[in-house]
């Protein structure tokens, strides 16, 4: 599966669990850390855990397991590292505080649509 397809799949899985503000950041050419970050917010620690657990379970069913998973113990910021795609599930206030969108301001930003396509969004904060 290509990185963009994997990022889209992860984003859609997060949305299925009612994650908020799901955003895909295209990091190709900006870093060697990953090709995409997928960011999602949860309304509570339990919600963040539920979103991350669902993504991890569904990706495993597709034959993909993360190289590492961090943050399940507290459920405030969970990271699932799939190598070329890194999924970040945040508690809403932590996402605002760490503001990865601003740290990667040069990255193209995408969201998903109902037809499982990725759509580029404006870089202005709050547009996603």
The pLDDT tens digits for 89-105 are 999 999 999 999 999 99
pTM of the full structure? 0.88
Q: Do the beta carbons of residue 80 and residue 69 sit within 8 Å?
A: yes
Helix (H, G, I), strand (E, B) or coil at 38: strand
CA atoms of 70 and 78, how far apart (whole Å)? 6
- Map out the domains of the chain with their CATH numbers: 3-115 (3.30.460.10)
The pLDDT tens digits for 22-71 are 999 999 999 999 999 999 999 999 999 999 999 999 999 999 999 999 99
How many CB atoms sit inside 10 A of residue 66's CB? 19
């Amino acid at each position: 599966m290509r990185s963009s397809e994997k990022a889209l799949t992860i984003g859609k899985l997060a949305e299925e669990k009612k994650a908020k503000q799901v955003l895909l950041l295209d990091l190709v050419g900006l870093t060697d850390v990953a090709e995409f970050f997928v960011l999602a917010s949860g309304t509570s620690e339990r919600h963040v855990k539920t979103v991350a657990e669902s993504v991890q379970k569904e990706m495993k069913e597709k034959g993909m397991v993360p190289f590492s998973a961090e943050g399940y113990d507290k459920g405030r910021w969970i990271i699932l590292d799939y190598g070329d795609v890194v999924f970040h599930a945040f508690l809403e206030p932590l996402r605002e505080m760490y503001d990865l969108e601003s740290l990667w301001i040069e990255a193209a930003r995408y969201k998903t649509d109902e037809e499982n396509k990725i759509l580029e969004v404006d870089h202005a904060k709050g547009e996603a």
